[in-house]
Structure 1
């Protein structure tokens, strides 16, 4: 018996580990696509499983879903992402992940000191305001970090 090239939403959910609602969400966001049968049931091509594996890996690495979608946008629809495709995608994320690793390592290394002093002071905390460089801008909150290291300004 030949294996069907199409999968139902339940089969994709079971094989990918994503809830059906997540599959619908990813479809609305353009990360995956389906087509409808004559009975109006969703059917997915098998390449969707690889695309979902990339979605899972990207989000587990902390890559925003919009960036995962952008990376997947370079893979033609209906084409099963290959190892070469993955290399290209991961290169897009490499610098961001390196920056995140440096920040997380610094935070981990300095976290015990913050817990020990208990202050988490925005004027002297080495994690939030190293060297008190924000003091020149006045008192009160000055910065919240966005994804990618950009600052929101107050």
Structure 2
């Protein structure tokens, strides 16, 4: 019967492993949209388990609530998302993942050498970033953030 009538917040908490307060927080941020019973209790769709599970995964890989909200913007609020709905956001999510993976790989591969931050404290910096030429690319670790391997000589 619960599948027809919906799930209580306690049922959703038990299924997802989230605390009731976390589910209320996500509701407050507009990421889930439970209905209300005649007694005022929250009633969740089974598809809200998927939404909350997606949120948990996205947060584990470092997405912010705002980024998750942007991804969810194209999902229907008051009906179960279809496969096509989920496919639409999965493409955007995949691009975000690919960008993060590439950044992590660059960080792993370049962290012990010159990262283009302008400190010039390693001998290798003098080879890849002589006279702090990377500052022309912007602030911060340009060789990692911008995927630049070295600054070309003028």
Same fold (TM over 0.5): yes
Post-superposition CA distance 1:1-53 (Å, at most 9, x none): x3443111111111111111111110011000123333332222222112212
Distance in 2 (alpha carbons) for counterparts of 1:36 and 1:103: 43
Report the equivalent of 1:49. Answer: 49
Report the equivalent of 1:85. Answer: 85
Distance in 2 (alpha carbons) for counterparts of 1:95 and 1:36: 36
TM-score computed with the length of structure 2 as normaliser: 0.68
Structure 1 or 2: more helix by fraction = 2
CA RMSD of aligned residues (A): 3.4
Report the equivalent of 1:123. Answer: 119
Distance 1:105 1:12, change over 3 A: same
Report the equivalent of 1:22. Answer: 22
Query: SS state of the match for residue 58, structure 2?
Result: helix
- Aligned ranges 1:4-15 → 2 under 5 Å: 4=3, 5-15=5-15
Query: SS state of the match for residue 40, structure 1?
Result: coil
Distance 1:134 1:87, change over 3 A: same
